[in-house]
Amino acid sequence: MPADPWLIYRWMLASRLFEQEVARLWHAGLVSGEMHLGTGEEGIDAGVVTHLGEGDAMALDHRGTPPLLMRGANPVSLLREILGREDGLCRGRGGHMHLFIPELLSASSGIVGASGPMAAGFALASQQLRPGRVAVAFFGEAAMNEGALLESLNLAVAWRLPVLFVCKDNGWSITTHSPSMTGGALLARARAFGMPAADVDGTDALAVSAMTEALLPHLRQGNGPAFLLARCVHLDGHFLGDALLEAVRRPLQVLAPMAIPLARSALSRHGARFRDRSHAVTDLLTRAGRASSAARSLPDPLDRTRRALLGDPDRLRMLEATVAAEVRAVVDVALEETP
Give pLDDT tens digits for 58-116. 999 999 999 999 999 999 999 999 999 999 999 999 999 999 999 999 999 999 999 99
174 and 263, same domain (yes or no)? no
Q: Is residue 129 part of a domain?
A: yes
**Domain of residue 316, residue span:** 5-233+312-334
One domain for residues 36 and 115: yes
pLDDT tens figures, 169-198? 999 888 888 988 999 999 999 999 999 999
Q: Indicate whether 161 belongs to any domain.
A: yes
How much of the chain, in percent, has pLDDT values that exceed 90? 78
Q: 166, 138 in Cβ contact below 8 A?
A: yes
Residues 234-243: tens digit of each pLDDT: 998 898 987 7
> For the chain, what is the domain count?
2
How far is the C-alpha of 97 from the C-alpha of 114, rounded, in Å? 12
Residue 303 domain flag: no
Q: Is the pLDDT of residue 302 over 60?
A: yes
Instruction: Evaluate whether residue 172 is within a structural domain.
Output: yes
Tell me the whole-structure pTM to 2 decimals.
Answer: 0.91
- Whether 185 is in a domain gets the answer yes
Kindly state the helix (H) or strand (E) to which residue 8 belongs, with its residue range. helix 5-27
Residues 190 and 87 in one domain: yes
DSSP sequence for 270-328: SSS-HHHHHHHHHHHHHHHHHHHHHHHHS--HHHHHHHTTTTSHHHHHHHHHHHHHHHH
Same domain? 76 vs 144 = yes
**220 and 290 belong to one structural domain:** no
Residue 3, pLDDT score: 84
Is residue 142 domain-shared with residue 253, that is, in the same domain?
no
**Is the pLDDT confidence value at 120 over 70?**
yes
Residue 150 domain-assigned (yes or no): yes
Say how far apart CA 183 and CA 237 lie, in whole Å: 23
Residue 339 has pLDDT above 60, yes or no: no
What is each CA distance from 252 to 220, 246, 249, 314, 339, in whole angstroms?
54, 10, 9, 42, 46
Residue-wise over 29-47: b if at least 16 C-beta within 10 A, else e? eebeeebbbbbbbbbbbbb
